[in-house]
Amino acid sequence: MRAYGRRWLLALAAGVLAGATACSGDAAPPPPTRSAAAVPATPTPSPSLVAITKAEAAEVFTEITATDDTLRVKSDLDGRLRMAVDLTTGGQTPLSLAAYLSTDYAPPRYRWGTPALFVPKFGPAEQAPWFTALATRDGRPTLLTFARSDRWRLSSVAELLPGQKLPEIAEDAEGYATALPPDDKSVTISPQYMQPVHASVAETGSSGVTAGLVAAGPYTTEVAEQIASLREKAKADGFSYDSIFSADSFPVYALRTADGGALIQYSLSRTTTTTTKTAEDDYIPVPDAARWAINSTVLRRTLRLVETHQFATAVPPITKAGAAAVIAHDGGLTRATGT
Closest CA to 180 of 146, 133, 130: 130
CB atoms within 10 A of CB 165: 13
Cβ-count burial 208-244 (b if 16+ within 10 Å, e if not): bbbbebbbbbebbbebbeebeebbeebeeeebebebb
* pLDDT higher than 60, residue 36: no
Going 304 to 143 to 163 to 31, the CA torsion angle's sign is: positive
For the residues 239-246, what does the mean pLDDT come to? 95
Domain boundaries, the chain: 2-41+50-338
Q: Note whether 313 and 327 are within 8 A (CB).
A: yes
Beta bridge partners of 135: 142
Query: For position 116, what pLDDT does the model report?
Result: 98
Distance (Å, whole) CA 119 – CA 131: 5
pLDDT in tens, 68-83: 999 999 998 889 999 9
Beta bridge partners of 313: 264, 326
pLDDT in tens, 181-199: 999 999 999 999 999 999 9
Closest CA to 245 of 209, 199, 193: 199
CB atoms within 10 A of CB 149: 10
214 to 68, 180, 190: CA distances (angstroms): 34, 19, 13
Is this structure's pTM higher than 0.75?
Answer: yes
